[in-house]
Amino acid sequence: MLRNYITEKQNQLKNKTMDFYTPSGLHIFFQYPVEGVDVEKVIDKVETILPHHLLSEVEMIIFGWFDEFEERSINAFYDDNALYISYLQDSEEGLYDDIIHEIAHSLESAYGYQIYADEKIKEEFLRKRKHLHDILWESGFKAPLSFFENIEYDKEFDQFLYEKVGYDRLASLMQGIFVNPYAATSLREYFATGFTEYYLDSDHKFINKVSPALYEKVSFLQKIKNLDFDG
C-alpha cells in the first residue's frame, strides 16, 4: 500500500511539471497527461508538414480540460496565441485533426484580410448553404432561409443541424457539397474545416473538387510572399 501511495504521488508530481519545447520553440504544456497517444510524434508531424509562417500565431499548446469545452460542446479552441486541446484523445489522427483545425482559426486574426476580403469563400459558402436549404426542405427538414444566409455561428442553427437533422443524416444529404457537416455551421468553420482537410489529404483532390474556391484560398496561404502586407 505504501509503495502504491508513493508511486501515485510521484506520478502526480511528474504530471504537474510535464512540458517540453519543440525545436521551433513551441511550448507544449500538460495540465493532464494524454494517454495512449504519442503527442510528440503528432506535434512533429504538424511542424514538418505546415509551412513555418502558418504556425507563427501559436506559441503554446495546452492539454487539459477547460470550462469552454462544456459550455460550447467543443474539445479544442484557440485563444491569445495558445491552442487549448482536450487531454482525452482517441487517436493520433484525431489529435492531428484538432491541432490543424485550431491553427486555422489562429490565422484568422493575422491574415483575416487575405482570407476573407475578396469574399470568394463567402460566396462559395453561401451558395452551398442555399443548396443545403433546398435539399433539407425537400427532405422534410424545414427551416427559414434566413438561417442559411447568416455566415456567423448561430447556436439555434447548429442545434437544428445536430438535433433535428442529425449529423449522420446530414452527412448523407450534403455529400459533395461540404467536406463534412461541421463545415456548414459558419463561414469560419467552413474555412477551418477546409484548411484541415487540405492537410489530411495530401493530394488535395477532395477539397479541390468539393470547395474549389476554398482550396485556392488555402493554397494561396502556403506561400508567405502572398501574405506580405507590403505586396
pLDDT of residue 15: 44
Q: What is the pTM of this model?
A: 0.88
Instruction: Output phi, psi for 27, to 5 deg.
Output: -90, 125
Pairing of strands 27-30, 19-21: antiparallel
pLDDT for the residue 229: 52
Q: Which residue has the cell 461541421?
A: 182
Contact between 87 and 63 under an 8 Å Cβ cutoff? The reply is yes
The pLDDT tens digits along the chain (231 residues) read 444 544 454 444 444 447 999 988 999 999 999 999 999 999 999 999 999 999 999 999 999 999 999 988 899 999 999 999 999 999 999 999 999 999 999 999 899 999 999 999 999 999 999 999 999 999 999 999 999 999 999 989 988 988 899 888 998 999 899 999 999 999 999 999 999 999 999 899 999 999 999 999 999 999 998 887 544
Helices 187-200 and 212-221 cross at an angle (nearest 10°) of: 70
76 by DSSP, 3-state: which?
strand
- Residue 231's CB is within 10 A of a number of other CB atoms, namely 5
Please write the tens of the pLDDT for every residue from 117-174.
999 999 999 999 999 999 999 999 999 999 999 999 998 998 898 889 988 899 899 9
Query: If 0-12 CB within 10 Å is exposed, 13-18 middle and 19+ buried, where does residue 145 land?
Result: exposed
What cell does 225 get? 510572399
pLDDT at 7: 45
Q: What is the pLDDT at residue 162? A: 87
Q: Which of 91-106 are b and which e, b meaning 16 or more Cβ less than 10 Å from the residue's Cβ?
A: eeeebbbbbbbbbbbb
pLDDT at 9: 41
- Residue 85: partners with Cβ closer than 8 Å, 6 or more residues away: 61, 62, 63, 75, 76, 95, 98, 99, 102
